[in-house]
Amino acid sequence: MSILDQIVADKKIEVAQRKSLFPSSFWEASPLFERPTLSLTKRLQASPSGIIAEHKRRSPSKQNINSSLTVSEVAKGYEAAGVCGMSVLTDGKYFGGSLDDLILARSVTQFPLLRKEFIVDEYQLIEAKAHGADVILLIAAVLTRTAIQQLSTTAQQLGLEVLLEVHNLEELEKSLMPSLNLLGVNNRNLKTFEVSLDNSRNLAAQIPEEFVKISESGISDLDAIRDLKTYGYKGFLVGENFMKTADPGQAAAAFINALER
């Protein structure tokens, strides 16, 4: 069993447990559930940099990226740096995150927040909305076309934007549908954890123009972003490159300033 398969198996158990403790109606009564959401799509379309910064303490491949800072500190730093939005890891077992991180980030910022999670159930969409998310991630590698359609349609009905992540042409072709807003190409192989920006380059021409294109993972230098922009990418998800520093917000600000010069 690959690490991805294990994560998804564990996630299904976790979601079942959470549903038994907190029914959907509990989250629907949250004050944040009726909050008007913010559009990451519009922010990216209007931005000269397209940077989406990430809060990530650790990952299966790196046991400690940065656990010394609070999510509130990181979120405020990113917003001051001028990023388009922030990705918040909410998986606890493998990434050290939680839904509390999402709500803490929401409490101190006014930019779009992405719940980065292994979503396998509509219940997680309701959780996301109740904790202040504006965008949700769907991973094509772990979902059928029917599941993608059901989850993305429900997300949009809740006012959430949908970022669909693919790793190859097969995943892309099975996933294209009107109920998506953003199309992300992950440069990291989730089975081997190897990273190659050729993933984004090779798939760029296959992504229809109506979707905002985002390149994810392994983006650490300005030249890479400048190159990917020529392939039509509007968004760039940068996590570890900022989080591995003592001050992620300052690192993001310096990066964006250099990119826009």
Active-site annotation holder among 186, 187, 199, 215? 186
Q: Which two tokens stand for residue 217?
A: 């993972």
Three-state secondary-structure class, residue 52:
strand
Active-site annotation holder among 11, 47, 66, 116? 116
Q: d(Cα 200, Cα 207) in Å, to the nearest integer?
A: 10
Q: Is 173 a catalytic residue?
A: no
Active-site annotation holder among 165, 200, 215, 240? 165
- 105-117 burial code (b ≥16 CB/10 A, e <16): bbeebebbbbbbb
Q: Is 244 a catalytic residue?
A: no
Three-state secondary-structure class, residue 195:
strand
Q: d(Cα 259, Cα 249) in Å, to the nearest integer?
A: 15
Residue 114 C-alpha from the chain's centroid = 5
Q: d(Cα 17, Cα 115) in Å, to the nearest integer?
A: 19
Q: Is 56 a catalytic residue?
A: yes
H-helix or E-strand spanning residue 152? helix 145-157
Q: Cβ distance 174 to 145 under 8 Å?
A: yes
Q: Is 209 a catalytic residue?
A: no
Active-site annotation holder among 199, 216, 234, 240? 216
Active-site annotation holder among 187, 199, 217, 240? 217
Q: Is 122 a catalytic residue?
A: no
Active-site annotation holder among 11, 56, 129, 213? 56
Three-state secondary-structure class, residue 171:
helix
Q: Is 19 a catalytic residue?
A: no
Q: Is 220 a catalytic residue?
A: no
- Between β-strands 161-166 and 212-216, what pairing exists: parallel, antiparallel or unpaired? unpaired
Q: d(Cα 197, Cα 162) in Å, to the nearest integer?
A: 23
Active-site annotation holder among 11, 54, 152, 181? 54
Active site residues: 54, 56, 116, 165, 186, 216-217
